[in-house]
Structure 1
Amino acid sequence: MKPFVGIWQDLKARAPYYLDDYVKGFHPKVLAAAIFMFFTSIAPAITFAATLDIGTKGQMGAVEIILSQTICGVIFAIFAGQPLVIVGVTGPVSIFTLTAYELAKLFDINFLNWYAWIGLWAALMHVILAAVNACELVRIVTRFSCEVFGCLIAVIYIWNAVALLVDMFGKDGTAAALLSILLAIGTHWLATLMSGARLWTMFKKPIRTIISDYAAATSIVVFTVVQYIPPLDEIKIALLEVPLTFEPTLKVGGVVRSWLVPFWDCPIPHVFSAIVPALILTILFYFDHNVSSILAQKAEYCLKKPAAYNLDFLWIGIMIAICAILGIPPTNGLIPQAPLHTESLRVMRVKDNGEEEVEYVVEQRVSGLLQSVFIGCTLIPPILRTLGRIPIGVLCGLFLFMGVSSFSGNEFFERFTLFFVDKNLRERACSADWIKTVPFSTVVKFTMVQLVFLVVIFVVTRTPAAICFPVAIALLVPTRSHILPKFLGEEAVNALDDNAVPDDPVPIVADVEKGKEIGTEKAIENGSGNTNGNEIADRQATGEKEMAVVGTTSSVAAGNPQ
């Protein structure tokens, strides 16, 4: 494939949907999804900011992270190909930034100038990878890798929540720590309870849907208020620390630094030494962003609009360059926020057996755009002060909710739980086809390989070698494609795992003159699942105008891994 062809194809594929991406923004689920994403993004952002502020000795903090997520979130929501992906500063980026700071200090390099060059080199590498259509290779990524990475992020969230709560015993005293733990448990419990409201027998369906959509936001408000109930109000607990003004965190001689980093003042040897960490950052983003994109577009979501991996990666590179010049941390697709965003936009229906299934997803750009604007609004002092009233314990509860929610639907985690199930009840506990065809000893070995990777990568992130952990993540792909089939058998491995990237959706052809989308949908069966042939009728029953389509589903560019 010629250079830039992948980007051009992504543009052509997404262009017919651009107006519809905003029209769909009037759906009632959009505002709820935006508010949910705001809380799930701002809480980790400010927590990571506190870590960066301490770890970089005040060279980066909350203002830099909030500004980064606002600028990049708005850009990505408007211009990217797949707006369901939520971008932000991730835990791995925080680890990378802290390690880069330690290296700069070790070699007596100006951190912000060097960090800017790391970003500029990485931006160039991203643009090159997008130009040569390198993101097409994500089609060989299987669920094996995505499941491990998804569990890694979930474990990091849970670990951070527990670590913050444990630290409170030394910093705030026993009473404050115990109250924070109660607030965390309460927040997690209420969010979990309300998020399952769609299956309640109480209330009418619209009310149950609203309760479920606003589960996280409601739990945060409720348990923030709990701290003011007597006699709990007498206990001084740790609150979210927020900046008081909109200005760079770093001050030199009492003077705030300029927003423009003087990267041109960096010595030439230091400029070229930034290439190595830039390469590591590129490896991280190539895997991290594309996996978040894959998870946000899983086959079970039944999305109708096409992916745009090369176009999205191009914009990630452009945003990295902007962040580098401003001296703020770069952003990429967030896990678990990206898949949680898609899930929050699902319209579900309850089958006759009481189980839920996806009817359709409200695919649009407005919720991602709104949540980015909401994050930017937190830089307004009155809103900042309001956020500053949220207890850390409540945020820990939100972290627990996000982490635990990420395990749902993760087959690696579900296979691991089978280790503790009575062997006579395994087929009842698991509905997957492989439970009947693959020996359980093979299932155990396959799952243990994933578990070892998970533990090793997590341990690496807690050591001085943390900057190299993206390399360990990248090793997941060749391990799955070349090593596991030799030791466990290709047939068994393929039964336990398949491509993570779903088949391209059926294309839509627009009748420009009439302003309508015309055609018919052909329900077909393919390797990733069945197209729902009744979906047009189902959508018409709910009052939503169904897009008519022409054509057939395209096959995945790459076949099953060998």
Structure 2
Amino acid sequence: MPNMMEVPIPVRFFFILLGPINSDLDYHEIGRSVSTLMSNTSFHTAAYKAEDRRDLLRAINEFLDDSIVLPPGDWDRKSLLPVDDIKKKYDDIRKRKMSKKKTTLSLEEKLPQYEPLQRSGRLFGGLVSDVKHRLPWYLSDFRDALNGQCLATAIFIYFAALSGAVTFGGLLGDKTSNLIGVSETLVATCATGVLFSLLSGQPLVIIGVTGPVLLFDELLYAFCKENDIEFLAIRVWIGMWIAVLATLVVAFEGSALVRFFTRFTQEIFASLISLLYIYESFYKLYMIFVTHPLLSGNAYCDNSTSDFTGANYSLANYSFSNWTMEDDFILDVPPMRQPNTALLSLILMFSTFFLADFLRKFRNSSFLGRNARRALGDFGIPIAIILVVTVDFFIPNTYSQKLQVPNGLSTSNETRGWIISPVSSTHPFVWWHIFVAAIGALLVFILMFLEIEICELILSKKERKLQKGSGFHLDLLLICYMELGCAFIGAPWMCAATVRSVSHLASLTVMSRTHAPGESPHIIGVKEQRVTNLLVSLLVGLSVFMSPLLREVPVAVLFGVFLYMGITSMIGIQLFERIILFFKPTKHFPSVPYAQKVKATKMHLYTVIQVVCLILLWAVKSSSLALAFPFVLLLMIPLRLQLKYLFTEKELECLDGDDGGLQSDEEDDPDFYQQTILPS
């Protein structure tokens, strides 16, 4: 090709561009772009050494990373002068990132290989491994919190933790004749949260009261009342046995057994708790209708005097605060048969539920900006509580039962103090109660083990990109020893709150912002630190002094929160999705592995087995053997192991396996309940 060049030079590369004659593209500009590439020394060298197409593409990407692209237009010299400064700053940022990455990699190389659920064969081997892996990160756990995202997260989680503490504390006071109430719940949440944030292996876990341990305390109180045993004293012995059991389990690396708690068992347990939330909400509302029935006007007039002053009235499991008609007229018992009370309670309960649920769905709507929607969705429950309590405040002429919260650091029940003796002051000490407490400790330990370890598993998924490890052994031991302290002050059992913990993690997650249009953002990392958990715990503790405000919260609002927790927690439970598929033809099944890769008959058989187990658990919980329901839950593990004779390994993998990676779409943020199984 002698006529192509003005001077005879060797030709190494040919660039052939093919395109339509009539096109809006400027082929000349494309040629200039290729010339610019070839004039770059680094690209020119890489092109000479390239062996295939991928080498050229890699060289082009490196060139673009080092280039600043200006849009077409007229540029004068003064406008282009800052370009060098911008490029210099960009290079400095890249160097800092690379340096930080190298520091992190070198730190990780110095740390021993860490598999938290792999047995070491040594006594307390898992605990030692947790401490060794987490200790080098301790100082960075405080340095990494110096940013605005952590402060915003602390405020968000505070409202979530406060809502949970008030809700569970109010219901617990209702179940235990106020022996354990809101005050004890707030104090315990603060104290255990501070200790956990400073000493735990996974400080992203939020500690609080959860549904399963609340259910156990309800059943234990009924058992003690029936057998004339002092409730708070026996809990101290239970706390001691919990610490002993935790020590034995951690010593022999029992946390590795969490692998046997597969989705089969988790979903049955979670379904029971969800249904109990819903049942309790409607049952409490029903009791209000029994106490304050809808009567005609004449009936109210005929019965108001006798019922209104009935000093002998008592409603099972209810503890009311004194209420005042006028300044000089105070009753020690709640009024009965009040007009509009039942109707108002119905409105308050469902208003709380629908407002919280609306704000949860609003999170993924098309209104407002993404950050505003996320804020409203994240603060859904606190916003719903505040709005509904405000409405109730402006209806002073209609009676509604309120939370009973003492002033300051007073106990919820005046008959008890802040220190509980293991030897009853009102009942004779019986030595065999100590061994009865051991059985109770084993039962509640099963629930705690399940909640703590499953929460740790959810947070430690690889796709969440946590770098500082977890605390399967350390956190279990720490929480169980804190239960002993809770028992001595007559506070509720504290446990890992899964939904609140996932909310905490999601708020601290840093997502990519430079992805291409249509491409889902990916997780860059998580701001792993201890300060947000510490701040949340301290703020919850200070909330004890908000008792005048807490006394304005109607209990019907708490029933609405429980209804919300019960219904929304079903979102993340695959069992309920498969129950719905009973009533759908196969052509309308969703594109998920358990529906597409498993025969419909096999899938329905698996669902029926889970439903039968759920009914069995509910029957045990409702019988005189209610305290034994954790044992029945434990029997689900060998039952699951026997399913291999009914289903193939591939079918069980689809039905009982994990859902896969986290989906994080820009337009549709995953709901926290979708990311968890346990509704706590």
Band of TM-score, shorter chain: 0.7 to 0.9
After TM superposition, the structure 1 = structure 2 runs for residues 281-292 of structure 1, keeping only pairs within 5 Å, are: 281-292=444-455
Q: 1:224 aligns with which of 389, 392, 406?
A: 389
Q: 1:189 aligns with which of 336, 354, 358?
A: 354
Residues 478, 24 of structure 1: CA spacing in aligned structure 2 closer, same or farther, 3 A cutoff?
farther
Q: 2:166 aligns with which of 43, 65, 70?
A: 43
- Answering whether residue 236 of structure 2 is matched by residue 73 of structure 1, we say no
Residues 331, 35 of structure 1: CA spacing in aligned structure 2 closer, same or farther, 3 A cutoff?
closer
Which whole-Å CA distance do the structure 1 matches of 2:286 and 2:463 have between them?
38
Contact 1:336/1:402 (8 A) holds in 2:
no
Aligned to 1:332: 495
Q: How many residues align?
A: 493
After TM superposition, the structure 1 = structure 2 runs for residues 236-247 of structure 1, keeping only pairs within 5 Å, are: 236-247=399-410
Aligned to 1:372: 537
Query: 1:449 Cα deviation (Å)?
Result: 1.8
Q: 1:397 aligns with which of 550, 560, 564?
A: 560
Highest RCO, 1 vs 2 (Cα 8 Å, sep ≥ 6): 1
Query: 1:178 Cα deviation (Å)?
Result: 2.3
Look up the SS of the partner of 1:390 in the other structure. Answer: coil
The RMSD of aligned alpha carbons is 3.3
Q: 1:204 aligns with which of 340, 346, 369?
A: 369
The letter of the residue matching 1:74 is V
Which whole-Å CA distance do the structure 2 matches of 1:471 and 1:353 have between them?
49
The letter of the residue matching 1:211 is L
Aligned to 1:493: 652
Which whole-Å CA distance do the structure 1 matches of 2:662 and 2:161 have between them?
34
The letter of the residue matching 1:72 is T
Look up the SS of the partner of 1:209 in the other structure. Answer: helix
Which whole-Å CA distance do the structure 2 matches of 1:199 and 1:95 have between them?
33
- Answering whether residue 644 of structure 2 is matched by residue 479 of structure 1, we say no
Which whole-Å CA distance do the structure 2 matches of 1:162 and 1:349 have between them?
44
Contact 1:123/1:321 (8 A) holds in 2:
yes
Which whole-Å CA distance do the structure 2 matches of 1:357 and 1:441 have between them?
37
Between structure 1 and structure 2, the one with the greater Rg is: 2
**CA deviation string 1:133-175 (max 9, x = no partner):** 1001113332222222222222222222222222221234542
Aligned to 2:328: none
- Answering whether residue 119 of structure 2 is matched by residue 2 of structure 1, we say no
**CA deviation string 1:59-101 (max 9, x = no partner):** 4433333332222222222222222322223333334334444
Residues 329, 225 of structure 1: CA spacing in aligned structure 2 closer, same or farther, 3 A cutoff?
closer
The letter of the residue matching 1:49 is L
Residues 233, 173 of structure 1: CA spacing in aligned structure 2 closer, same or farther, 3 A cutoff?
farther
Aligned to 1:89: 209
Q: 2:629 aligns with which of 469, 475, 480?
A: 469
- Answering whether residue 237 of structure 2 is matched by residue 117 of structure 1, we say yes
Residues 107, 205 of structure 1: CA spacing in aligned structure 2 closer, same or farther, 3 A cutoff?
closer
Query: 1:227 Cα deviation (Å)?
Result: 2.1
Which whole-Å CA distance do the structure 2 matches of 1:95 and 1:220 have between them?
23
**CA deviation string 1:430-482 (max 9, x = no partner):** 231232221011111112222222232233223332211111221222222x2
The letter of the residue matching 1:462 is S
The letter of the residue matching 1:33 is F
Aligned to 1:152: 272
Aligned to 2:153: 30
Q: 1:259 aligns with which of 409, 419, 429?
A: 419
Residues 165, 364 of structure 1: CA spacing in aligned structure 2 closer, same or farther, 3 A cutoff?
farther
User: More deviation in 344-353 or 163-172?
Assistant: 344-353
Contact 1:346/1:360 (8 A) holds in 2:
yes
- Answering whether residue 616 of structure 2 is matched by residue 456 of structure 1, we say yes
Which whole-Å CA distance do the structure 2 matches of 1:458 and 1:24 have between them?
46
Which whole-Å CA distance do the structure 2 matches of 1:115 and 1:210 have between them?
40
- Answering whether residue 254 of structure 2 is matched by residue 131 of structure 1, we say no
Which whole-Å CA distance do the structure 1 matches of 2:280 and 2:508 have between them?
27
Query: 1:418 Cα deviation (Å)?
Result: 2.0
Which whole-Å CA distance do the structure 2 matches of 1:227 and 1:347 have between them?
40
The letter of the residue matching 2:614 is L
Contact 1:140/1:499 (8 A) holds in 2:
no
The letter of the residue matching 1:35 is Y
Contact 1:141/1:499 (8 A) holds in 2:
no
Contact 2:264/2:610 (8 A) holds in 1:
yes
Which whole-Å CA distance do the structure 2 matches of 1:234 and 1:396 have between them?
22
% identity of equivalent residues? 28
Residues 260, 189 of structure 1: CA spacing in aligned structure 2 closer, same or farther, 3 A cutoff?
closer
Gaps of 5+ in 2: 1-120, 295-339, 667-680
Aligned to 1:558: none
Which whole-Å CA distance do the structure 2 matches of 1:2 and 1:59 have between them?
43
Contact 2:219/2:627 (8 A) holds in 1:
yes
